[in-house]
Structure 1
Amino acid sequence: MKLAPIALLLSVTLCSAGAKAQLTCELQTFEFEPPSIAQGSIEVLSDAAQIIKDEVAVFEGNVLITSPESIIQAQSAIVQENGRTIEASGNVVYTDEFLKVESLGLEANADIELLQLQSSEYQIKDINGRGGADLLSISKEQGVVLEDVSFTTCPKGGEDWRIQASEISIAKGKPFGEAKHTRFYIGDVPVFYLPYFAFPITTGRQTGFLFPQPGGTGRTGVEYEQPFYWNIAPNMDATIAARYMTNRGLQLKNEFRYLSENHRGEFQLEYLANDTDTQSGDARYFYRFNHQGQLSENWTVVADINDISDNNYIVDLRSDFYNQADTYLFRQAGVNYFSNAIDFSLFVRDFTVIGNFDDNYRALPEAKLNYSSEVNEWINFDVKSEMAYFDNRLSQRPDAFRMHVEPSLSFPYQRAWGEILAELSVLHTYYDQDIEGIDNTNLDSSVDRTLGQARLYGSLVFEREQSIGNNDYMITIEPKAQYLYTSYQDQSNIGLYDTTQLLTTFSNIFQGQEFTGLDRINDNNQITIGATTRITDRNNRELFSASIGQIVFLENARLQASQRNNNRSAIAAELDWRVNQNWFLHSDIQLGNQSNEVERSSFATEYRLAENKLIQVNHRYIRELSNEKIDQFGISASWPINDKWHWVGRYYRDFERSRTTESFMGIEYESCCWALRLTVQRHLATRFNNDGVRDIDEFDSGIALQFVFKGMGSKTNKVDMLQQGLFGYRQPLVLN
């Protein structure tokens, strides 16, 4: 067991404090309407005025100086040179389109285009932030310069944190501002210092350092990540980061992105040259390349290529693209063609297997061609075809070439009351298997398999409008039935290249196929019956959906992999129910037809009053999976204690092994300008040992402390604390 160190995360989070229902914070802003005054002129109003020799005008009492660009309020003002110089004092308030400043005094000179305010408190329009400056200067030559300046998002009188700088300058026409000798204070205690940094003041992307990302976990120790953004071109950029971990050393991370009119993509690379937490100290890496492009109106290109150095890379160092429960990384590259009648794809598909699992077959390459056309109003003609070469790194696994052609005639008839479909198909597959050097194999080097298939499907829709209270609903019952016949051929002389057995779910029982891929096609003489009922509201939103179905086998299957001991499949049922605006429920179940015992089931229900006010309960049961029984229960909750304190928690229990697989608790204090989060968790480590076997008995524990300084722009979310850890949080269902 490992105990993670407490990590203090000092992160500037852009958030709108007024967005929380539990915490109400007033947005500090102001309004400015440009005055209707001729360009180049000013208008002055006051309680009293005195003009000296037509050169100097002195105004006293409630002075209001208006120009096309700004408004100045003061107790007194002196205007000289026909308005070209202005001095104002006494509760001065300067307002323009972007800025509001309260000051002891103001001086303006139109000849040198300079405006200065002394001992000022400023506020930027539509930004929940404010500050003070000993001197604020606005000029055409230098832009905006603030000396001995501070900034905070806290309300007046409650400055829990602030930024203090000797000077902040924002030059006209430049996309970024500059700050010198910046100190960060919590209360009155300085905690961070930067001699110089530049910050963006426009939406345009600029090259420069991004905010650092401190953190820490039990496996990495205390860590500090400093990203640098490189704006290479308008359609190209890169983020380069150095991540130092006290337990593991220095890691380099890079993300490169590009965009053109028809193509876009990104490349990520992470490299740790010497992991000091391992005995070998070997280099560890992760890379990922993703590309999507439009070659023409009908042709597209796709690539997703990635790899990792070792089985425990994701567990030890984390990943933004995969989680520690994954057992393989999927990668592919290829092209697609789409038209009204033809769909074509040509791909190379491969896997990186994580852990000591059987190596998967690679498709090098795989080509699919599907053709569809309407012979007439009643008949459709379709051809599905596929050609692939399968390669395996294991010497006792054969490589193979497979070609499949499947022409079919269908007779569809669809109306509002239901559907009838008759279909006839021929399934022909050819295999060329390289079995040379493979011991004790019953495979043949060359196999031809031709099967015939007939399918008759029908469904009806019964509707009824029902009023309950003041609400109108539409209730439907949709019975459906299917007869399927597929001829038999011995397939024990064919290897398994992309085939696994499908689950008995409601959606699968009407497919008529018990396996993925083409290596095993079961013989069928069966009837499938089922029904679905739905409830929709007047806006056609589905509030309730329930389905149940079963297969009746008229003959026992002759295919060895598909043989069964009874004449009926398990009963498959599914349920989705939006009980009301707050309650959601989802469940599916497979019930054995002879034992009347549950073979598989899952259940999830959630009570949600608001985005951050919810309780979710779920349960998963599998009678037999890889010779093991799965029986797990989980509960997750997010709930406010009061307007400033919030609690989240998650607990998962394995009833089969009588142990807790994950426990997590977090508590947060939030004010209008900062938040403090404390999280504690214990969960299965799920690491692989040296033999590539996942350890299911080792646990990992950790404590984390996060300090969030709330700034400008977007929203934070307390539920994101529930998304940490092994299982995370997901809403149980989403009905339309």
Structure 2
Amino acid sequence: MSSIQNTQLPVLFLLSMTIGLADAQEVCFVPAPAPNLENLLLDGQIQVKSQDSEINQDTYAKFKGKVEIDSNIAKITADEAVFNRQTQTLKATGNVGFIDNYITVSSNQVQLNRSTNELVIEDSIYQLNQVQGNGQAKKIAIGEQSGINLVESSFSSCPVDDQVWRIQASNIELTPDQSRGVVKHARFYIKDVPVLYLPYFSFPVNDKRQSGLLYPIIKSDSSAGLSLEQPVYWNIAPNYDLTFSPRLMSKRGLQLKTEFRYLTEGHTGQLDLEYLSNDQEIADNSDRYFYRFIHQGQINENWQINADINGLSDDNYIIDLGSDYYNRADTHLFKTVGMSYFSEDLMMTAQFRDFEVLGDHSDSYRALPELRLNYLTELGANAEIEVHSELAYFESTDTNAPTATRFHIAPTVRFPYQNQWSEFVAEATVMHSHYLQENVENTTFDEEVTRTIGQAKIFGALTFERTLNLFGSSVTQTLEPKAQYLYTSFEDQSNIGLYDTTRLFNNFSGLFRGQEYTGLDRISDNNQITLGLTSRIIGADNKEQFKLSLGQIFYLADSKITDISKDEDRSALAAELDWQIGSKWYAHTEAQVSTSTDKIERSSLSLEYQLTKDKIVQVNHRYIRDLSSEEINQVGITASWPIAPNWQWVSRWYHDLERNRTVETYNGVKYESCCWTISLVAQRRLSNRFDTDGTQSTDEFDSGFNVYFTSRNLLRDGLFGYRRPYLLN
């Protein structure tokens, strides 16, 4: 064994060649084992091992037979190596191998110039070690100052034995301290067929955000026709960027889309603008637009600001042109700006709240402004007091509609108690409201209304446990009864308008809510007892396998508010079930059953079979006896299943049993390998377009076809509304 001191090897950064790799590499790429470079060598030292050596003290050192040249950053193997002391060059020949943390190279010859710190590798085959990437090069020249230059080289992220695509280039240059590499005379091949030639292009060489072209988006549907969208990304600064996406539609023309994002130490936000000039599919060729501004900011430890402002040119914009932020079922777009204060006992918010209403819906009231204050503190003796108050001014886009200023304050004294097996809460609340209403001449409302309502509530819950032997396994079963008595005094509220108030639907948890309305314009009078029972089965791994909840309200007196007056002395029986049936089947169901007619009022059912992460079949059914005088009765099937190696199929089908028609179909297939991916999606669904008087169509359908070149989760992206029905804790 011989050694040579103070010979340097430059660090290879060919890792930066990992450009344009498919996201699938995270799944199917297995990094090569890191080379064992542990030794006692210092920086700049190399150690040579060989079977035979010949050393001339002043001119050269020659090594033959299983030559190994080690440093603390790389390793070279060869049949023969010669170190010329006069020219300060090291030349290795014959079955040469080079390896470091980033790259493994096989070649015929490697030459290192110590004086210039340049490394030249001839006729090489390389494989990147940390990411998927490989290729060949006639010459690889590496220098500390000049960087990396690959001459007559190729690159692909596909496996070596299955190169679906590759880039062949005359030169690939990677310069130190530069964020982009340069490729000259590049030919792009699919298999062995050349499909594209570029005399010059640049590419990012690290994981930092870089300006450039993103993947195009190709779609075809009956509304816009064939559309091609080409996003262009501009990395303005480390905390600012802009994506500009021109979209050409065969039926409608050119749409311009921009997305601007920013991030500072305490604030983050995004501004989206979309504009279509002279829509060719509309008779008057009108201009169409959409805007969205989102902001969240932390002023200091206690103060926050936020904004959510959205707007569009017409009701059918989202339906005709699509949206990354809304879907065609949405009826309102938010316009909210606010400021919040948080401390240990106090929470205060001030905001302006408005809506963009789509279609023929009743005009919504906007709160300009709305101030809320909540205060919570302990009184001693395990008691606490909470004060909720708010001040709001409501106005509508309908100039003939009433306007109102509402002040509300509700102090609550509460006595809570809780331990591992029980919970008890007793509370009393006084709700005082004052309204100043204008423009009420043609209504039954009064210009000034003062309302004071008292409420008392007692809630208790217990938890019992026992150990069972179920199907040969030891499990824990719980029995959790809960009861609530609620009394709310009555006051006539028919002289108050409805500004932020609508009816609520009850499920099991809603039975204990104690309020029939959202908002404050109607506070229901109550004299009722609510009973509920939950039972769980918990496995040895402390995971819930089964949960069943039943509950019902018993009315001791009928409500005096006309809108919610009831003929029965009890509510519908509310039930919820979550069940893990074995290791692959999951079920979730909710139902409300009238105990006077024994008819189901509302129900939903989800049954899912999940063999693996990508093998899923889910069946859903939804039923509502009366929703705005219509009966809803729909069944749906969602499936995701691999159909061949690298191929995934996703599908959804929804059928309206009431009208005996299919309301939506969705089929998508995705091919994903280690080096490329493509998704093809076809769908047909109700268009939901609005006509000139704002009425939404329920008979017209829209169909489309999309192509995606990036890796996508079709189950999440395409199957809107999918969720696993297994809701156990």
Instruction: Give the distance between the partners of 1:346 and 1:707, measured in 2 at CA.
Output: 45
Offset from partner CA, 1:211-246 (integer Å, 9 cap, x none): 331311213344333333333333333333333333
SS in 1 for 2:168: strand
Partner residue in 1 for 2:23? 15
**Pair 1:516–1:214, CA change in 2 (3 A):** closer
Instruction: Point out the more displaced range, 218-227 or 589-598.
Output: 218-227
Q: Is the 8 A contact 1:722 1:728 kept in 2?
A: no
Partner residue in 2 for 1:7? none
Partner residue in 2 for 1:442? 444
Instruction: Give the distance between the partners of 2:285 and 2:195, measured in 1 at CA.
Output: 35
Partner residue in 1 for 2:416? 412
- Cα shift at 1:363: 0.6
Correspondence 1:164 to 2:168: yes
Instruction: Give the distance between the partners of 1:277 and 1:623, measured in 2 at CA.
Output: 39
Correspondence 1:396 to 2:407: no
Instruction: Give the distance between the partners of 1:285 and 1:705, measured in 2 at CA.
Output: 25
- Cα shift at 1:17: 4.5
Correspondence 1:56 to 2:60: yes
Partner residue in 2 for 1:36? 40
Q: 1:356 aligns with which of 352, 355, 360?
A: 360
**1:200-215 equivalence runs, <5 A:** 200-206=204-210, 208-215=211-218
Partner residue in 2 for 1:654? 656
Correspondence 1:310 to 2:324: no
Q: Report the AA paired with residue 535 of structure 2.
A: T
Partner residue in 2 for 1:220? 224
Partner residue in 1 for 2:492? 490
Q: Report the AA paired with residue 215 of structure 2.
A: P
Q: Is the 8 A contact 2:24 2:676 kept in 1?
A: no
- Cα shift at 1:250: 2.5
- Cα shift at 1:200: 2.2
Partner residue in 1 for 2:10? none
Normalising to structure 2: TM-score of the pair? Answer: 0.92
Offset from partner CA, 1:432-485 (integer Å, 9 cap, x none): 11125x53x111111111112222222222122334467443321111112222
Instruction: List, as ranges, runs of 4+ consecutive aligned residues in structure 1 with deviation greater than 6 Å.
Output: none
Q: 2:118 aligns with which of 114, 117, 136?
A: 114
Partner residue in 2 for 1:5? none
Q: 1:664 aligns with which of 657, 663, 666?
A: 666
Partner residue in 2 for 1:139? 143
- Cα shift at 1:169: 1.1
Instruction: Point out the more displaced range, 624-633 or 485-494.
Output: 485-494
- Cα shift at 1:420: 2.6
Instruction: Give the distance between the partners of 2:258 and 2:280, measured in 1 at CA.
Output: 21
Q: Is the 8 A contact 1:683 1:726 kept in 2?
A: no
Correspondence 1:69 to 2:48: no
Instruction: Point out the more displaced range, 78-87 or 474-483.
Output: 78-87
**Pair 1:191–1:213, CA change in 2 (3 A):** same
**Pair 1:594–1:693, CA change in 2 (3 A):** same
Q: Report the AA paired with residue 531 of structure 2.
A: I
Instruction: Give the distance between the partners of 1:656 and 1:13, measured in 2 at CA.
Output: 49
Partner residue in 1 for 2:612? 610
Q: Is the 8 A contact 2:425 2:458 kept in 1?
A: yes
**Pair 1:88–1:419, CA change in 2 (3 A):** closer
Instruction: Give the distance between the partners of 1:133 and 1:222, measured in 2 at CA.
Output: 41
Correspondence 1:320 to 2:324: yes
Instruction: Give the distance between the partners of 2:682 and 2:604, measured in 1 at CA.
Output: 28
Offset from partner CA, 1:516-564 (integer Å, 9 cap, x none): 1111111111111111112233454333222111111111211111111
Instruction: Point out the more displaced range, 528-537 or 696-705.
Output: 696-705
RMSD of aligned alpha carbons: 2.4
Instruction: Give the distance between the partners of 1:61 and 1:272, measured in 2 at CA.
Output: 72
Instruction: Give the distance between the partners of 2:196 and 2:316, measured in 1 at CA.
Output: 35
- Cα shift at 1:592: 1.1
Q: Is the 8 A contact 1:35 1:69 kept in 2?
A: no
Instruction: Point out the more displaced range, 77-86 or 364-373.
Output: 77-86
- Cα shift at 1:65: 2.3
SS in 2 for 1:375: strand
**Pair 1:489–1:235, CA change in 2 (3 A):** same
- Cα shift at 1:663: 1.7
Q: Is the 8 A contact 1:28 1:128 kept in 2?
A: no
Partner residue in 1 for 2:698? 696
Q: Is the 8 A contact 2:573 2:595 kept in 1?
A: yes
**Pair 1:280–1:185, CA change in 2 (3 A):** farther
Normalising to structure 1: TM-score of the pair? Answer: 0.91
Q: 2:350 aligns with which of 338, 346, 349?
A: 346
SS in 2 for 1:509: helix
Q: Report the AA paired with residue 15 of structure 1.
A: D
Offset from partner CA, 1:569-588 (integer Å, 9 cap, x none): 11111112233432221111
Instruction: Give the distance between the partners of 1:705 and 1:334, measured in 2 at CA.
Output: 40
**1:587-626 equivalence runs, <5 A:** 587-626=589-628
Q: Is the 8 A contact 1:18 1:27 kept in 2?
A: no
Q: Report the AA paired with residue 728 of structure 2.
A: L
Offset from partner CA, 1:175-215 (integer Å, 9 cap, x none): 22222233322112233344433322223334x21333131
Instruction: Give the distance between the partners of 2:355 and 2:707, measured in 1 at CA.
Output: 38
**1:710-729 equivalence runs, <5 A:** 716=711, 720-725=713-718, 727=720, 729=722
Offset from partner CA, 1:136-169 (integer Å, 9 cap, x none): 1101221011122211122223211112222211
**Pair 1:550–1:89, CA change in 2 (3 A):** same
Instruction: Point out the more displaced range, 508-517 or 159-168.
Output: 159-168
Q: Is the 8 A contact 1:55 1:80 kept in 2?
A: yes
Percent identity, aligned pairs only? 46
Partner residue in 2 for 1:565? 567
**1:234-253 equivalence runs, <5 A:** 234-253=238-257
**Pair 1:526–1:38, CA change in 2 (3 A):** closer
Q: 2:643 aligns with which of 634, 641, 644?
A: 641
Partner residue in 2 for 1:380? 384
**Pair 1:553–1:683, CA change in 2 (3 A):** same
Correspondence 1:284 to 2:288: yes
Instruction: Give the distance between the partners of 2:698 and 2:716, measured in 1 at CA.
Output: 22
- Cα shift at 1:52: 6.1
Instruction: Give the distance between the partners of 1:445 and 1:686, measured in 2 at CA.
Output: 40
Correspondence 1:298 to 2:302: yes
- Cα shift at 1:277: 3.0
- Cα shift at 1:83: 8.0
Correspondence 1:673 to 2:666: no
Instruction: Give the distance between the partners of 1:145 and 1:388, measured in 2 at CA.
Output: 68
Greater RCO, 1 or 2 (C-alpha within 8 Å, sep 6+): 1
Partner residue in 2 for 1:732? 725
Instruction: Give the distance between the partners of 2:373 and 2:185, measured in 1 at CA.
Output: 65
Partner residue in 2 for 1:499? 501
- Cα shift at 1:27: 4.8
Instruction: Point out the more displaced range, 543-552 or 492-501.
Output: 543-552
Gaps of 5+ in 2: 1-18
Q: Is the 8 A contact 2:353 2:369 kept in 1?
A: yes
Q: Report the AA paired with residue 605 of structure 1.
A: L
Instruction: Give the distance between the partners of 1:128 and 1:29, measured in 2 at CA.
Output: 13
- Cα shift at 1:657: 0.9
Instruction: Give the distance between the partners of 1:304 and 1:545, measured in 2 at CA.
Output: 38
Q: Report the AA paired with residue 479 of structure 1.
A: P
Instruction: Give the distance between the partners of 1:66 and 1:369, measured in 2 at CA.
Output: 70
SS in 2 for 1:290: strand
Correspondence 1:232 to 2:236: yes
Instruction: Give the distance between the partners of 2:602 and 2:677, measured in 1 at CA.
Output: 43
**Pair 1:734–1:116, CA change in 2 (3 A):** farther
**Pair 1:706–1:435, CA change in 2 (3 A):** closer
Correspondence 1:95 to 2:103: no
Q: Report the AA paired with residue 732 of structure 1.
A: P
- Cα shift at 1:388: 0.7
